[in-house]
Amino acid sequence: MVEVENSYPVAAKLRLALLEPDIPQNAGTLFRLAACMGIPVDFIEPAGFDASDRNLRRAGLDYLAHVHIERHLDFAHFERWRRNHRYRLILATTHGAQNAYAFAFQPGDIIMLGRESAGAPPHVHEAADARIALPLAPGLRSLNIAVAGAMLVGEALRQLDALPAFGSTEGK
């Protein structure tokens, strides 16, 4: 299990959840985002690629050493864990959701990104406390999941006044 402690608090104001990701490069990009923003990642299996520790390390490159990853065997395991910790689940979706920029994020929220190929199934939509979407130009369907994740994490951290300190890359 890849679970690396870093200089960021694991009890962060925000978490990012990847639900059964299909594309290792997107997962790696999102691990890098989480490392740079100081937030933990919930990795919900099964993945659509070999999610062995070795392959996750390859996808996350040298940033994996700077992110805390909590692995869950499946959504049911994640959901029990989430409810036990009383985290609010915010599902990013293109289906009937609230505008992400009009949504009020709260400390302890988990932003969940669904599978690149299929999004999130109905039972995940039902379990979510809120469903949000990014506004897009008319006629366009969706953004790359890593781009969407970065936009949502950035907005949530901005609202929570939890962005890393500007200039904090010194010495890295």
Judged by average pLDDT, the poorest of 67-76, 93-102, 124-133 is 93-102
Query: Tens of pLDDT along 47-56?
Result: 998 887 676 7
Mean pLDDT of 49-77: 82
Query: Tens of pLDDT along 143-169?
Result: 999 999 999 999 999 999 999 988 766
What is the reported pTM? 0.89
Write the burial class of residue 113 (CB in 10 Å: 0-12 exposed, 13-18 middle, 19+ buried). Answer: buried
Task: Give the residues across from 98 on adjacent strands.
Answer: 132
Token code pair at residue 120: 């999130």
Task: Give the residues across from 112 on adjacent strands.
Answer: 17, 91
Confidence at residue 60, expressed as pLDDT on a 0 to 100 scale: 56
Task: Give the residues across from 117 on adjacent strands.
Answer: none
For the chain, give every domain's residue range.
14-159
Confidence at residue 10, expressed as pLDDT on a 0 to 100 scale: 40
The CATH fold of domain 14-159: Alpha/beta knot (3.40.1280)
